[in-house]
Amino acid sequence: MEPYQRRNRHFEDLVARRGLIWMGQNTNHLPTHPDVKRAMIAAIEDEDYHAYAPPTGLEELRRLILADFGVDDADVLITDGAIEGLYHACRHLIRPGQRMIATDPGWPWPEAFSRLSGAEVVALPIYRPEQDYKLSAEQLAGAVEEGGAGLIYLIDPLNPLGVGYSADEIAAFARIAREADAWLIHDCTYRHFAHDHTLAYRLYPEKTITTYSFSKWLGLAGLRVGGLMARPALIEMLSEGQPNSLGSNLVSQKGAIAGLRTKGEWFPEVNRIQRANQASIHDAVAPINGLDMPVYPSNGNFVVIDTGAAGIAPETLCELYLERGIMIRQAAYQSKLFADRFVKVSTTVPTEDADRFCEMLPDVVRAALDGIGRNRALY
């Protein structure tokens, strides 16, 4: 089997597994508002899908996204999930030989897309307590000074660590990007879960592209709808050679519209539940020797558990949880430099599912320690 076939088989098995608790992809698994389902069912019943959607996306959806951002001088390009917008931006905006600056840990795909464009990817190490597990302005400025930057990719809040950036930090990043005349992609996929959030677009509107996702707060990951927000002139430029120039899924767009219309009614409760789940996980991790939660509370709908001091390989923890019906993610997916240090656990699941994760933790850690022949006190 080729590696891609193995990867696919792995995910095929996961999606076929009834009752699996999904705590590895940061998608919302809490029940969907009935209006969202009704809108999508109506679109199917009415057979809306015979026509292509408008190439930039349904106007109401674009208006609602702008309103959700609280921005009125930009526009939105609807894409097949934020990832397709990222692909397009990374292929369109960077030239061979330019540098793309990202972080390690981070989220790997925009780096892969930039490499396809011939860019040199520089992933700055940030898994360090002395810099609060986040990118610092000095670090970014140093990297830009050293070799320039064509594109800066900033994930905020950061998947996987859950750190977010203050207004001052965003202002510093925007200043550095402007001085370098670099594109700034502000990946705001997890913005809805943040305790506080500042849009770089407001400070550097001319070259900032902001992502929007419906996979996380609304939980439409399998329906592939998202967007890019930028100045209209930049959207015009991105509309050239746009991969989804035949429009995005109409059914998904109607579900997304209903989600945005009703968000105020139900989303605060989702965030309350996921933050309470974070707290339960924190309480379960704290007494266990060798485990630690470096960032708490998290600004995302996920937390990271450091397993380094326990000497437990993240993969082992993931396998043991999967055997017990819970999917979590190993660091290697999101880090080259710190791949042996942590697992990521998503928190937008029902309280009882997060509680099961917590109840299993001592057993899973014990089994992992037994597996490497370590016989030491758990607490």
Ligand X SMILES: Cc1ncc(COP(=O)(O)O)c(C=O)c1O
Binding site for ligand X (CB under 6 A): 26, 81-83, 107, 155, 159, 187, 189, 213, 215, 221, 226
337's tokens: 């430099």
| Closest to ligand X by CB, 248 or 316 | 248
Between 151 and 369, CB nearer to ligand X:
151
Nearest residue relative to ligand X (C-beta): 81
Alpha-carbon distances of 159 from 230, 236, 293, 301, 341, rounded to whole Å: 22, 29, 15, 9, 15
Helices (H), 148-248: 167-180, 232-238
> Closest separation between CB of residue 58 and ligand X, Å?
17
Beta carbons of 133 and 300 less than 8 angstroms apart: no
- State the minimum distance, in angstroms, from the CB of residue 159 to ligand X: 4
Report the nearest approach of ligand X to the CB of residue 106 (Å): 8
DSSP alpha helix (H) spans, 71-149: 82-93, 109-116, 137-147
Instruction: Give the shortest CB-218-to-ligand X separation in angstroms.
Output: 10
Least separation, in Å, of the C-beta of 82 and ligand X? 3
Q: Report the half-sphere exposure of 148 (CA within 13 A, side-chain side).
A: 10
Cβ partners under 8 Å of residue 162, min gap 6? 295, 296, 297, 298, 299, 300, 302, 303, 304
Residue placing its CB nearer to ligand X in the complex, 213 or 274: 213
Least separation in angstroms between CB 365 and ligand X:
26
Q: Closer CB to ligand X, residue 244 or residue 316?
A: 244
Decide whether 32 or 159 has the Cβ nearer to ligand X.
Answer: 159
Q: How far is the CB of 283 from ligand X (least distance, A)?
A: 26
CB of 26 to ligand X, least distance (A): 6
Please, how many CA atoms are within 13 Å of residue 73, restricted to the half-sphere of its CB? 7
Q: What share of the chain is helix, strand, coil (3-state, %, to 5)?
A: 45, 15, 40
For residue 21, report the phi and psi dihedrals to the nearest 5 degrees. -95, 115
Which residue number, 32 or 189, has a Cβ lying nearer to ligand X?
189
Distances (CA, A) of 29 to 85, 144, 230: 24, 40, 30
What H or E segment, with its residue span, contains residue 368?
helix 351-371
Give whichever of 247 and 368 is closer to ligand X, judged by the CB atom.
247
Question: Measured from the CB atom, is 107 or 183 closer to ligand X?
Answer: 107
Instruction: Check: CB of residue 211 under 8 Å from CB of residue 219.
Output: no
The amino acid that residue 35 corresponds to is: D
| Contact call for residues 306 and 293 (beta carbons, < 8 A) | yes
